[in-house]
Structure 1
């Protein structure tokens, strides 16, 4: 692709050189022969060259960065000159707009695969996709595409790792939506909502002090101020932003070693619960505020993050297999308990009917389709264990507890 670009640029320059040579030769002939036709031809050709070289066309949904003698052209404020889609003009024979400096503003889709360690030390995997596009050309052109891609992945991995460390792995299986909204807030807002609440306490005053922009938006909608005239939302929707509507839940900490020294109690909000219980409000914030100011990562790379979609949250094959084995074992234990209860009912009936314990056990084993634990150890009244025959003897008065 790069060779094709260079080839096209070279052919354009050769064409200009050839046309220029024709123009110069025409002028020489005009001077020597004293012919106006050759002079006009030469001047016309030179004018055509200058016009041809001065006009540039930037394709739709692209922007261009012209260069002057191989260097980017800067304005008085230090920003690089950017040409937007359509016709534009540059200095002929001095400025140039190479194809490699014409950059697409279309959405780039980045596949995201990352993992983190949960509170119970298990690997949790996150698979999704991220869409973004150039927004600030001056910043964007100074970043390599690989640098932008890695920075976005690192930001997602960092936030995912933070929240994973607060919960056991199984808490994330049903939390795909919460994780998705959380990462969208981190990538698209100047400051994610949960950053404002580092203590699970009464937060009405804290909210008003640290989240004034939401108050401005709500007040504007209700006709109290007019600073944000571009916000269009009805009163009912605005009411959802009220500080009193937000829900906070304290994070339950487990597995921390006890310390003999007195420790100041530190409270944290449950981030997953926060994004689950406040989904409507947070979605409204994303709609209203993401256009006001770029997020730190958007500002750093000169991009606009469109959306992050979480496709799957799960575990490695090894961990998944362990979970399945655990569920299978629990299911088998429950099934064994059901089988025991059925046998117990049958035994009690047979013993009351006067059948001996040995005969009752044999009768159950030969006439029922309950399988698996006929002679296994069973629990009686929660504290004594014995096999089925011993239990039958106990019912028949032939044994002791």
Structure 2
């Protein structure tokens, strides 16, 4: 039994959004009671107690589009890399990195990412992996890191023809094997999807192979119209728009997650809505790659289930919220844009997306929900009420203000110290592997 108390409990439960001097009790992997600290402590006097010291007690964050394999890109300089557009960025940086990753690199990059997730209060991620230098077994290496660190993870491998058909088939089989494995997992902490890079690197033959090897219980995780080049390719080679091609191959559906969706039109939005397909917005990545601003506000207004991800650009969901907030205000020239839509994406929609792959309920503090709880060190200057919670978070909190992270009822970090792993040892191993990776890339 674990109790986190003496804080302002932000439940994300509309029935009771804020509890002053509140506490959350976790029995095993699930929340068993939420209420006042006094009542909770009296109910469970023998429970381990973590004092929030007046800070915020919140549900753990969910990131619905990560790229674990990007960990070793920090500070990496690639000889001759001088991108003139999005395709240059992909081939010159990301595909160059993933072609040189070993299985150990994949494992260590996952460890580095999960450490950052825990430090930023992220307890659930949807990752989209690529390591064309070492495909088979790569998702199992990430799962190993996920279990060692305690972060709930939905994993997939990005199928692509870009390095030839043999590797495309190998990618399909890595997904298929891992999905079958994940469907047998009884911990509720691991799930799998059929990953795809983007339609412009995937032939009809490979799409058909993926469909033939995908269990009905899962969907696809694919980049869609991230760059204008993707749209031009689809129009030129298939005579149709991207979402139409995906529709024709049976890829759309309630278990499928589309990343980015920058260059889609109203007709494609209709297809996404009608098929109950999910979308994830990655604002920092889109801006950093100079890809453009997606019609995210329109997607949300149409009722399309649209979440928020980081695309590996950061592991701090608060940072992505802040950037999305100003991106859409700037893009639409509307100071009222994004106030409600982005927190809806982060706190409501991400939980709904995760709920299509995981049980129990995530993203909320109430009886029966997952024991995913964080404590944030925040002392508001102005009164914090149920009506201004999001304003306080947006302008007063970053991921680095998280001091305690609990996932599935297990303490992963307490007072900024990770509890399950030797961080210094892991980071030393990561630095050595990153150095060797840079050596392979640059000769």
Normalising to structure 2: TM-score of the pair?
0.17
Larger of the two Rg values belongs to structure: 1
Normalising to structure 1: TM-score of the pair?
0.19
Q: Which has the higher contact order (CA 8 A, sep 6+)?
A: 2
